[in-house]
């Protein structure tokens, strides 16, 4: 327990993010994921401050069987002028059953005076009394010094005195918090070095991203001697967020040579980062360091051949180390080498037939000239490859026609779609209603085929983007639609192009369902 460790505060400080709300069950799921990843400590919330957090600790004590991590309860030092043993909020920490209590304390003189409305001396007493009391009751104590860096710059001696007092009273770790997030790494380096020299106690770092430097500030603190690092999965948190714990862990293990997870667990980072994003309902950023879907994506172009020979020249780590994958994007400059590599990635070997490879490359170029883009639409690209490799485009139904009517109405507007198609040997004509034209088409199409292909009930449209291409050229403009679809587990993007936005959406919708059914291994039903 004295080793360097990482401490997750997703369920407490992360939950301060605007719009992020976690239920007790969400927290149970997140705690299991964090334990699975192998973090040292998981802060579960502030028992006593609200009923949900109190309930979480009660449930965790009964049902949360952590294999690796230790649960921590967050709370504040006792009130001014009171006694820790009698403080009801301190009692809630004692009763939480958490082996570790992380106490937040003030170390910035102005905050003591303005927010706590007490004296600097009484604040010191509050820290000593609360730490001593909880230690006496058998709990381990960490102390978060709120606004520490700003406090240090305003009144260094007082800030250092509070850090020393916490350690003397029995706090295992004194955590320096950049609560307002305004620091840059060189400042963190200097402050940590000075506090370490002045107190000789074990220090931790808690950084926010207001200067875009939360991770770098954490690394600077580690290099200056802290041995406890706090953060939130995916960088959740108030304002600009906390230090992203996934990026911090990957940097610690792969860049600074400090293992903080049990061996091999880092390879689950991408999966766990995305799984927690599903729980918070904040889509994971495609550009998140290490775990984003774009983080090892290359617009190959000219360099495709060099990437093939030595991928290490073009990526800072092997993506498999964090459970991610290299991806080559089929872009406007796509040449045969890119198409070939991309084909291999999707499970198609194009090497043995140069004529076919040339034909596919030409077709991609032609389609991109017409406005398609495949770099963001892997699913449509896979259907195109399948068409070329398997002697025909995969289809599950044959479209005869579609029509949409959208009109103004008293309450908003309405949309109705008619779809006529042949599937399973039957001609089907159905209508669908929706709050918009694409929604109506989507409903009609599903309704037509969901008896034959029940899997479509699991697919839902999660994102939809429209662009006008060649804008400025007036009526020549074509519309490109990108649709993202999810089956609750995976998601895929399809593309449609046309002068008519509804037509482009229809193409992307048909591709979306076709790709989904193919991915689920469904066979076409004929008469």
Q: Which of residues 105-164 bind its own copies (CB under 8 A)?
A: 108, 110-111, 114-115, 147, 150
Q: How far is the CB of 184 from its own copies (least distance, A)?
A: 6
SS3 assignment, position 12: coil
What is the pairing mode between strands 5-8 and 460-469? unpaired
Q: Which of 201, 414 has the CB closer to its own copies?
A: 414
Binder to its own copies among 253, 375, 382, 388 (CB under 8 A)?
A: 375
Counting Cβ atoms within 10 Å, is residue 67 exposed (0-12), middle (13-18) or buried (19+)?
exposed
Q: Which stretch binds its own copies (CB under 8 A): 18-26, 169-177, 350-358, 385-393?
A: 18-26
Q: Residue 237 region, left (φ>0) first, then alpha (ψ -120 to 50), else beta? A: left
Site for its own copies in 466-505 (CB under 8 A): 466-475, 479, 482, 484, 498-503
CB of 210 to its own copies, least distance (A): 5
The region of 94-102, 218-226, 357-365, 424-432 touching its own copies under the rule CB under 8 A is: 218-226
Site for its own copies contains 337 (CB under 8 A): no
Using rule CB under 8 A, residue 211 touches its own copies: yes
The 8-class DSSP code of residue 255 comes to I
362 vs 433, beta carbon nearer its own copies: 433
Question: Do residues 188 and 217 touch, judged by C-beta distance below 8 A?
Answer: yes
Nearer to its own copies, 210 or 455 (CB): 210
Q: Which of 88, 136, 200, 212 binds its own copies (CB under 8 A)?
A: 212
- As a whole number of angstroms, the distance between CA 74 and CA 12 comes to 8
Six token digits for residue 50: 């609200």
CB of 167 to its own copies, least distance (A): 25
Smallest distance from the beta carbon of 37 to its own copies, in angstroms? Answer: 17
| Per-residue contact string for residues 419-448; x = within reach of its own copies by CB under 8 A | ----------------xxxxx---------
Q: How far is the CB of 338 from its own copies (least distance, A)?
A: 14
Instruction: With residue 92 as reference, give the H or E element that holds it.
Output: helix 88-95
Q: Give strand pairing partners of 41.
A: 7, 70
- Which residue lies nearer to its own copies by CB, 238 or 388? 238
How many helices (H) does the chain have, and how many strands (E)? 17, 16
Residue 281 makes contact with its own copies by CB under 8 A: yes
Site for its own copies, residues 385 to 404, rule: CB under 8 A: 399, 401-404
CB of 352 to its own copies, least distance (A): 26
Q: Which of residues 305-324 bind its own copies (CB under 8 A)?
A: 306, 309-310, 313-317
DSSP 450: T
Q: Is residue 370 a contact point for its own copies (CB under 8 A)?
A: no
Task: Give the Cα separation of 209 and 179 in Å (integer).
Answer: 10
Q: How many residues contact its own copies, by CB under 8 A?
A: 122
Nearer to its own copies, 123 or 209 (CB): 209
**Interacting residue with its own copies among 120, 153, 193, 223 (CB under 8 A):** 223
Distance in Å, CB of 355 to its own copies, minimum: 27
Stated as kind and residue range, the H or E segment containing 513 is helix 501-519
Least distance between its own copies and beta carbon 50 (Å): 7
Contact positions with its own copies (CB under 8 A) in 158-197: 180-182, 184-186
Of 155 and 240, nearer to its own copies (C-beta) is: 240
How much helix, strand and coil, in percent to the nearest 5, is found in the chain? 45, 20, 35
d(CA 384, CA 405): 31
Burial 75-113 (b: 16+ CB within 10 A, else e): bbbbbeeeebbebebbbbbbbbebebbbbbbbbbbebbe
CB of 177 to its own copies, least distance (A): 13
Rounded to 5 degrees, φ, ψ at 252 are -60, -50
Question: Quick one: tokens of 276?
Answer: 């927690």
**Binding window for its own copies (CB under 8 A); candidates: 32-40, 64-72, 288-296, 335-343:** 288-296
| Joined tokens for residue 514 | 């076709």
Write out the binding residues for its own copies, residues 237-256 only, by CB under 8 A: 238-241, 244, 247-248, 250-251, 255-256
| Both structure tokens of 344 | 């291999």
| Residues 6 or more apart in contact with residue 90 via CB below 8 angstroms | 75, 78, 84, 130, 133, 134
Secondary structure (3-state) at 409: coil
Q: Candidates 62-70, 128-136, 236-244, 346-354 — which segment interacts with its own copies by CB under 8 A?
A: 236-244
Q: How near is the Cβ of 347 to its own copies at its closest, in Å?
A: 21
* Coil, helix or strand at residue 174: strand
**E strand or H helix that includes residue 70:** strand 70-76
| DSSP conformational letter for 254 | I
Instruction: Specify whether the CB–CB gap between 129 and 80 falls below 8 A.
Output: no
Could you give phi then psi for residue 496, rounded to 5 degrees? -140, 150
Task: Give 73 or 100: the residue with its C-beta nearer to its own copies.
Answer: 73
The piece of 1-9, 11-19, 136-144, 266-274 that touches its own copies (CB under 8 A) is: 11-19
The answer to the question of residue 366 lying near its own copies (CB under 8 A) is no
358 lies in the binding site for its own copies (CB under 8 A) = no
What is 436-495 written as a DSSP string? SHHHHHHHHHHHHHTTT-GGGGG-EEEEEEEEEESTTSGGG-EEEEEEEEE-SS-EEEEE
Q: By CB under 8 A, is residue 460 in contact with its own copies?
A: yes
Pairwise CA distance, residues 447 & 403, whole Å: 15
């Amino acid at each position: 327990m004295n080793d360097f460790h990482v401490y997750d505060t997703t369920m407490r400080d992360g939950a301060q993010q605007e719009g992020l709300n976690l239920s007790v069950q969400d927290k149970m799921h997140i705690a299991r994921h964090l334990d699975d990843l192998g973090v040292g400590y998981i802060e579960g919330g502030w028992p006593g401050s609200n009923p949900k957090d109190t309930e979480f600790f009660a449930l965790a004590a009964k049902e949360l069987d952590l294999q690796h991590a230790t649960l921590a309860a967050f709370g504040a030092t006792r009130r001014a002028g009171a006694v820790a043993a009698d403080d009801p909020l301190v009692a809630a920490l004692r009763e939480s059953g958490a082996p570790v209590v992380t106490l937040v304390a003030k170390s910035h003189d102005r905050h003591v005076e303005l927010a706590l409305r007490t004296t600097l001396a009484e604040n010191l007493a509050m820290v000593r009394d609360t730490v001593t009391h909880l230690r006496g009751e058998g709990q381990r104590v960490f102390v978060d010094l709120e606004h520490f860096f700003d406090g240090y710059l305003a009144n260094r001696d007082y800030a250092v005195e509070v850090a020393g007092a916490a350690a003397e009273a029995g706090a295992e770790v004194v955590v320096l918090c950049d609560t307002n997030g305004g620091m840059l790494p060189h400042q963190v380096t200097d402050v940590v070095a000075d506090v370490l020299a002045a107190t000789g106690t074990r220090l931790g770092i808690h950084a926010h991203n207001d200067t875009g430097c939360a991770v770098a500030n954490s690394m600077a603190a580690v290099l200056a001697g802290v041995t406890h690092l706090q953060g939130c999965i995916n960088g959740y948190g108030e304002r600009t967020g906390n230090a992203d714990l996934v990026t911090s862990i990957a940097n610690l293990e792969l860049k600074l040579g400090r293992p903080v997870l049990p061996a091999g667990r880092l390879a689950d980072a991408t999966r766990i980062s995305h799984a927690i994003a599903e729980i918070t309902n904040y889509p994971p950023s495609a550009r998140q360091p290490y775990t984003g879907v774009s983080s090892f994506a290359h617009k190959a172009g000219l360099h495709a051949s060099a990437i093939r020979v030595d991928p290490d020249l073009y990526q800072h780590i092997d993506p498999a180390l964090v459970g991610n994958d290299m991806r080559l994007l089929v872009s406007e400059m796509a040449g045969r080498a890119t198409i070939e590599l991309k084909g291999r990635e999707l499970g198609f070997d194009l090497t043995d037939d140069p004529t076919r490879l040339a034909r596919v490359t030409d077709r991609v170029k032609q389609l991109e000239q017409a406005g398609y883009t495949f770099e963001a639409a892997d699913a449509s690209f896979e259907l195109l490859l399948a068409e070329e490799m398997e002697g025909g485009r995969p289809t599950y139904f044959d479209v005869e026609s579609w029509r949409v009517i959208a009109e103004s109405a008293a309450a908003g507007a309405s949309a109705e779609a008619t779809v006529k198609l042949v599937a399973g040997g039957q001609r089907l004509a159905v209508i669908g209603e929706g709050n918009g034209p694409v929604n109506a088409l989507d409903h009609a199409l599903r309704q037509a085929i969901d008896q034959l292909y029940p899997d479509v009930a699991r697919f839902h449209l999660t994102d939809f983007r429209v662009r006008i291409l060649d804008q400025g050229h007036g009526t020549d403009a074509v519309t490109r639609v990108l649709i993202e679809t999810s089956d609750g587990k995976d998601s895929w993007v399809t593309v449609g192009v046309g002068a008519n936005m509804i037509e482009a959406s229809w193409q992307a919708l048909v591709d979306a369902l076709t790709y989904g059914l193919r991915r689920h291994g469904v066979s076409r039903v004929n008469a």
